[in-house]
Structure 1
Amino acid sequence: MAHLLGGESLHLSFPTKTVFGSVTVGVNEGDRVGIVGRNGDGKSSLLAMLSGRLEPSGGRVTVRNGTRVGVLDQGDTLDPTKTVADSIVGSTPEHEWAGDPKVRDVIAGLVTDLPWDGLVGELSGGQRRRVALAALLVGDDDLLFLDEPTNHLDVEAITWLAGHLRTRRSASAGGLLVVTHDRWFLDEVCTATWEVHDGIVEPFEGGYAAYILQRVERDRMSAATEAKRQNLMRKELAWLRRGAPARTSKPKFRIEAANELIANEPPVRNSVELAQMATSRLGKDVVDLIDVSVSYGDKQVLKDITWLIGPGERTGILGMNGAGKSTLLSLVTGDLQPSSGRVKRGKTVKVATLTQQLAELEDIADNRVSDVIARYRTSYVAGGKEMTPGQLLERLGFTAVQLATPVKDLSGGQRRRLQLLLILLDEPNVLILDEPSNDLDTDMLAAMEDLLDSWPGTLLVVSHDRYLLERVTDQQYAILDGGLQHVPGGVDQYLQIMAGRTSTSRPSTPTSSQGGGQSAPSSAEARAAKKELGAVERKLTKLTDQIAAVHASMATHDSSDFTGLGELNEKLRAFQSEVTELEMRWMELAEQAG
Structure 2
Amino acid sequence: MLLSAEQISKTYGTRKVLDRVSLYLEAGQKLGVIGVNGTGKSTLLRILAGAEEPDEGRVSRDPNVRLNYLPQLPAFDEKNTVLEQVFAGVSPEARALAEYEAKTILTRLGVPLFEQRVGALSGGQRKRVALCSALACPCDVLILDEPTNHLDSGMVAWLEDELRQFKGALVMVTHDRYFLERVVGRMAEVEGGALAFYEGNYDKYLEQKALREEMAQASERKRQAILRREYQWVMQGPTARGTKSRERLERYEDLKSQSGPEERTALELSAVSSRLGKKTVELHGVSKSFAGRTVLRDFDLMLLREDRIGVVGRNGSGKSTLLNLIAGRLMPDSGEVVTGKTVRMGYFSQENPPMDPKMRVIDFVKEIGNSIETAEGRVTASQLLEQFLFPADEQWAPIGKLSGGERRRLFLLSILAAAPNVLLLDEPTNDLDIQTLTILEDYLETFPGAVIAVSHDRYFLDKTVRRIFEVGESGAVTEYVGNYTDYLDARKAEEKREKTVSAPAEKRRERPSGSKKLKFSYKEQREYENIDGEIAALEEQLAQIRTEQEAKASDYVALQALQSRESELEAALEEKMERWVYLNDLAEQIAGQAGGT
TM-score computed with the length of structure 1 as normaliser: 0.68
**Alignment CA distance shift 1:306-1:200 (3 Å):** same
Separation of aligned partners in 1, 2:483 and 2:443: 23
Equivalent positions of 1:7-406 (< 5 A) are 7-88=5-86, 91=92, 106-111=105-110, 113-169=111-167, 174-223=168-217, 229=264, 281-359=275-353, 361=355, 366=359, 369=362, 372-373=365-366, 376=369, 378-381=371-374, 385-389=376-380, 390-406=382-398
Structure with bigger gyration radius: 2
Q: Which amino acid aligns with 1:342?
A: E
Report how far residue 419 of structure 1 moved: 3.0
Report how far residue 316 of structure 1 moved: 1.3
For each residue in 1:90-133, what CA deviation from the matched residue of structure 2 results, as whole angstroms up to 9, or x when unmatched?
A: 756999658x7x6675345325x521332333222222222222
Q: Which amino acid aligns with 1:437?
A: T
Report how far residue 140 of structure 1 moved: 1.4
SS at match of 2:2: strand
SS at match of 2:79: coil
**Alignment CA distance shift 1:334-1:166 (3 Å):** same
Q: Structure 2 stretches of 5 or more lacking a match?
A: 221-259, 511-597
Report how far residue 437 of structure 1 moved: 2.8
SS at match of 1:222: helix
Q: Which amino acid aligns with 2:407?
A: R
**Residue number in structure 2 paired with 1:473:** 465
Report how far residue 321 of structure 1 moved: 1.9
**Alignment CA distance shift 1:414-1:66 (3 Å):** closer
Which of 421, 424, 432 is the equivalent residue of 2:416? Answer: 424
**Alignment CA distance shift 1:161-1:498 (3 Å):** farther
Q: Which amino acid aligns with 2:321?
A: T
Separation of aligned partners in 1, 2:121 and 2:264: 42
Separation of aligned partners in 2, 1:194 and 1:387: 37
**Alignment CA distance shift 1:471-1:228 (3 Å):** farther
Separation of aligned partners in 2, 1:368 and 1:94: 46
Which of 454, 459, 471 is the equivalent residue of 1:462? Answer: 454
**Residue number in structure 2 paired with 1:434:** 426
**Alignment CA distance shift 1:419-1:106 (3 Å):** closer
Equivalent positions of 1:582-593 (< 5 A) are none
Separation of aligned partners in 1, 2:282 and 2:407: 32
**Alignment CA distance shift 1:412-1:371 (3 Å):** closer
More relative contact order, 1 or 2 (CA 8 Å, 6+ apart): 2
Whether the aligned pair in 2 keeps the contact of 1:430 and 1:458 (CA below 8 Å) is yes
Report how far residue 167 of structure 1 moved: 1.2
Report how far residue 368 of structure 1 moved: 5.7
Report how far residue 502 of structure 1 moved: 12
Separation of aligned partners in 2, 1:52 and 1:360: 32
**Alignment CA distance shift 1:387-1:166 (3 Å):** farther
Q: Does 1:486 align with 2:479?
A: yes
Report how far residue 185 of structure 1 moved: 1.8
Separation of aligned partners in 2, 1:372 and 1:93: 51
**Identity, % of aligned positions:** 36
Report how far residue 387 of structure 1 moved: 4.9
SS at match of 1:153: coil
| Equivalenced residues, count | 463
Q: Which amino acid aligns with 1:41?
A: T
Whether the aligned pair in 1 keeps the contact of 2:30 and 2:183 (CA below 8 Å) is yes
Equivalent positions of 1:421-570 (< 5 A) are 421-480=413-472, 481-488=474-481, 490-492=483-485
**Alignment CA distance shift 1:501-1:51 (3 Å):** farther
